[in-house]
Structure 1
Amino acid sequence: MDYHIKDINLAEKGQLRIEWAEQTMPVLRLIKERFGKNRPLSAVRIGACLHVTTETANLMRTLKAGGAKVALCASNPLSTQDDVAAALVKYDEIPVFAIRGEDRDTYYQHIESVLATKPIITMDDGADLISTIHSKHQELLRQITGGTEETTTGVIRLRSMAKDKVLGYPIIAVNDAMTKHLFDNRYGTGQSTIDGILRATNRLLAGSVFVVCGYGWCGRGVAMRAKGMGAKVVITEVNPLRALEATMDGFQVMPIAQAAKIGDFFVTVSGDINVIRKEHFLLMKDGAILANSGHFDVEIDKKSLQKMAKSVRKIREFVDEYVLENNRRIYLLGEGRLINLAAAEGHPSSVMDMSFANQALTADYLVKEGDKLEKKVYSVPEHIDREIARLKLKSMGIEIDTLTSEQEKYLSTWEMGT
């Protein structure tokens, strides 16, 4: 079996951590048991480009239990947990191509290694796997049934491809599932982003001015958690509806050019490029701390910051100090990459339970229905979303009501009225 990881001797530690995560992933566990009996993915080759974490390991084991032949590479150079990669190779014989801190060339070579397995289904987190197929390996398009995409950023890229009619196979936007973005993006990103910032800096949030750039589901989550820790939260937005919502939620809303002057912490969660850039760095106070929780490291203009700085040094792990000409210091966390995975461990497993349940059931759906789908981006089928929510509630010991036959009739007819 071909693989490329840091150290196979880390496997035992990774195995224990995977087991710890699995304890709070009951929905995925139920799907794994069902897959083990029915084997719906028998001999299906799945190429996955995801964050190599304990939660992802449990997804890989679920897919393998269903009969799939899985190969995995990292979707971010700083998100790989090397002990997890080792455990998947040693104990599950899953080819993994991921090393924490890998350079750009190695990152793309690992994608090539996954594509060498000739996947029938792709799983992506940011769409790098899919874009590589379309730009360098179009011969693979003929055999691919479909794929999934986990992130807001990736879905934006793929919808653009579909709009331009260059998307070569159907994609299901796992990110758009209600059981994904309402929980993973809000509660997962909210908690894990704050966790990453605190681990990197050990700074107090209470009383600070905490600027959140973007008020989508991820931004909502980060703002909610920062507010809960006593920070004075400021939101920057370009969407008037989201800006209005942030205002109604009790947050101060202003342009980034104003926020740059007063912020102590800055977090970008917009999915766009150069949200914080040169003119904003020039306005920031001494000691401003910058972090990103968007998928790609493009939201903070690192190139301009590098050019502006008269000196750069790593002052502590995950913290780079940029000293500007006027001796003001700006601190960039985790090289501007996903701070929740660069400095912490990513989302809690109980949240990823639902996200990866969507991935597993969507793979099953693609095997059965993929040849009927057009080359465009689809939402997760509603019955999958509802089933995951039902299983999650069941695992939490929560019961809900069901409609009576009278209520069902009332909702399905126009004749009853008042």
Structure 2
Amino acid sequence: MKYKVKDLSLAEIGRKQIEWAEMHMPTLLEIRKRFEAEKPLKGINIAAVLHVTKETAALVRTLKIGGAEVALAASNPLSTQDDVAASLVNDGISVFAWKGETEEEYYSNIESIVKLNNPQIVMDDGGDLHAYIHEKASELKIFGGTEETTTGVIRLKAMEEQGVLRYPVIAVNNAYTKYLFDNRYGTGQSAIDGILRATNILVAGKIAVVAGYGWVGRGIANRLRGLGARVIVTEVNPIRALEAVMDGFEVMPISEASKIGDIFITATGNINVIRKEHILNMKDGAILANAGHFNVEIDVKGLKEISIGKRNIRPYVDEYILPNGKRIYLLADGRLVNLAAAEGHPSEVMDMSFANQALAVEYIVKNKDKLSKKVYNMPEELDYLVAQIKLKTMGILIDELTEEQREYMKQWKYGT
């Protein structure tokens, strides 16, 4: 089989969703025009483990138009948009993904795209594809790969430090035009969108606790404040904690915040940030949501162990009854709330993230014999190119340095 999706009859609905996304992704479409003319990826097999959304569809369609053969699996069991998956099959993309995969199906789908595609380039969101190839497909000759998320970059850096990384990887996540916008504005909006779709609660007046003040956490915290929430930040990094304080947020340990919060959102990339002892502290009706890549930040297993009852209240909302009679509401089983309960990031911000992905793949193809087995940041000139194209599509002009200014920046003698 060259695909495995939920229902091919959804393809026409998916086509309209993809058209809607592409209408709002002009940067990627500018790159697509050049790819169509130049075919820089001709003869290249790509295996991609990404969230199968309408925005991802715009990316893989661009790669295919550029000459590549693409096989796609989901990077989260709950993030696939089934209509989009069906439409991509009609476009000749080998898709193995559907919403609601079991853990076994999730890893089986990753295995399927690798065995089907024999990739030369791999694109990942979280690091599971990279890990699979290193552990179970070491015979493949990989030119290089890309990584979309902070979580995945952390895993790849660990592989590099341990000397086991087998091919070069471009950390697309580290591009300025990715993390300053995708992580901050994209997750900031989409995580709250997921919470609102799941619960339909009023945010104004609530005490919202954001665990982690990286770019994702600060995006979420600022948008919660904009909706009228009273926001508390919890952190382990003293510099980020200090920044949160000076940004006007209250900062305290999770052990204290757990006693007063109404909504909790984890955004750390680490494990068991909210644990059993914190959950037992919480108010009746507290809501738990996760915006980190893996479902490990909230101790879901611990929540189940201490609960005496559970029932599903609404789609993606499970009610847990604690021994003290309090009710705790877990969203999307602790998985990425923005993709499980909503549609993920808006197309406008994924426009830049996936423009970076397309250019990174092209860069690997052109430089495959020059790159070492290490994790690279996105080349600065490509990062700037994405910003330049984005501004152009928005109709925004900026200044350029004069020759005098360029010369001034090269010298050291001029003083006051």
Normalising by the residue count of structure 2, what TM-score does the alignment of the two structures yield?
A: 0.99
**Which structure 2 residues correspond to residues 158-169 of structure 1 after superposition, within 5 A?**
158-169=156-167
2:82 is matched with 82
Q: CA deviation at 1:137?
A: 1.3
2:136 is matched with 136
1:59 paired with 2:34, answer no
In structure 2, the residue corresponding to 1:138 is in which secondary structure?
Answer: coil
From 338, 341, 344, the counterpart of 1:343: 341
**Which structure 2 residues correspond to residues 378-389 of structure 1 after superposition, within 5 A?**
378-389=376-387
| Cα deviation 1:175-211 (Å, max 9, x = unaligned) | 0000000000000000000100000001111000000
In structure 1, the residue corresponding to 2:271 is in which secondary structure?
Answer: coil
Cα distance in 2 for residues equivalent to 1:56 and 1:412:
42
1:149 is matched with 147
Q: CA deviation at 1:417?
A: 3.0
1:44 is matched with 44
Percent of aligned positions that are identical: 64
**Which structure 2 residues correspond to residues 17-28 of structure 1 after superposition, within 5 A?**
17-28=17-28
Q: CA deviation at 1:69?
A: 0.6
Cα distance in 2 for residues equivalent to 1:59 and 1:401:
30
Cα distance in 2 for residues equivalent to 1:237 and 1:136:
37
Q: Give, as a single letter, the amino acid of the residue that structure 2 aligns with 1:340.
A: N
From 185, 188, 192, the counterpart of 2:186: 188
Q: CA deviation at 1:289?
A: 0.1
1:263 paired with 2:261, answer yes
In structure 2, the residue corresponding to 1:115 is in which secondary structure?
Answer: helix
**Which structure 2 residues correspond to residues 196-345 of structure 1 after superposition, within 5 A?**
196-345=194-343
Q: CA deviation at 1:125?
A: 0.1
Q: Give, as a single letter, the amino acid of the residue that structure 2 aligns with 1:97.
A: F
In structure 2, the residue corresponding to 1:35 is in which secondary structure?
Answer: helix
Cα distance in 1 for residues equivalent to 2:131 and 2:103:
15
1:390 is matched with 388
CA RMSD of aligned residues (A): 0.6
Q: Give, as a single letter, the amino acid of the residue that structure 2 aligns with 1:321.
A: E
| Cα deviation 1:106-156 (Å, max 9, x = unaligned) | 11110011111110000000000000111111111xx10100000000001
Cα distance in 1 for residues equivalent to 2:234 and 2:369:
43
Q: CA deviation at 1:337?
A: 0.4
Q: CA deviation at 1:301?
A: 0.3
Q: Give, as a single letter, the amino acid of the residue that structure 1 aligns with 2:82.
A: D
Q: CA deviation at 1:373?
A: 1.2
Cα distance in 2 for residues equivalent to 1:7 and 1:43:
30
1:107 is matched with 106
In structure 2, the residue corresponding to 1:290 is in which secondary structure?
Answer: strand
Q: Give, as a single letter, the amino acid of the residue that structure 1 aligns with 2:191.
A: T
Q: CA deviation at 1:282?
A: 1.0
Cα distance in 2 for residues equivalent to 1:191 and 1:279:
30
Q: Give, as a single letter, the amino acid of the residue that structure 1 aligns with 2:185.
A: Y
2:5 is matched with 5
1:15 is matched with 15
1:97 paired with 2:96, answer yes
Cα distance in 2 for residues equivalent to 1:186 and 1:277:
26
Instruction: Structure 1 unaligned segments of length 5 or more: list them.
Output: none
Q: Give, as a single letter, the amino acid of the residue that structure 1 aligns with 2:104.
A: D
Cα distance in 2 for residues equivalent to 1:171 and 1:239:
27
Runs of 4+ in structure 1 deviating by more than 3 angstroms, as ranges, are none
In structure 2, the residue corresponding to 1:261 is in which secondary structure?
Answer: coil
Cα distance in 1 for residues equivalent to 2:325 and 2:346:
39
Q: Give, as a single letter, the amino acid of the residue that structure 1 aligns with 2:28.
A: L
Cα distance in 2 for residues equivalent to 1:33 and 1:55:
17
| Cα deviation 1:354-376 (Å, max 9, x = unaligned) | 00000000000000112211111
Q: Give, as a single letter, the amino acid of the residue that structure 2 aligns with 1:78.
A: L
Cα distance in 1 for residues equivalent to 2:222 and 2:14:
32
- What is the aligned length? 415
Instruction: Structure 2 unaligned segments of length 5 or more: list them.
Output: none
2:124 is matched with 124
Cα distance in 2 for residues equivalent to 1:33 and 1:331:
47
Cα distance in 1 for residues equivalent to 2:283 and 2:13:
42
In structure 1, the residue corresponding to 2:178 is in which secondary structure?
Answer: helix
| Cα deviation 1:61-118 (Å, max 9, x = unaligned) | 100011001000000000000000000001x111000010010111111001111111
In structure 2, the residue corresponding to 1:96 is in which secondary structure?
Answer: strand
Q: Give, as a single letter, the amino acid of the residue that structure 2 aligns with 1:415.
A: K
Q: CA deviation at 1:414?
A: 1.2
Normalising by the residue count of structure 1, what TM-score does the alignment of the two structures yield?
A: 0.99
Cα distance in 1 for residues equivalent to 2:130 and 2:331:
28
1:376 paired with 2:374, answer yes
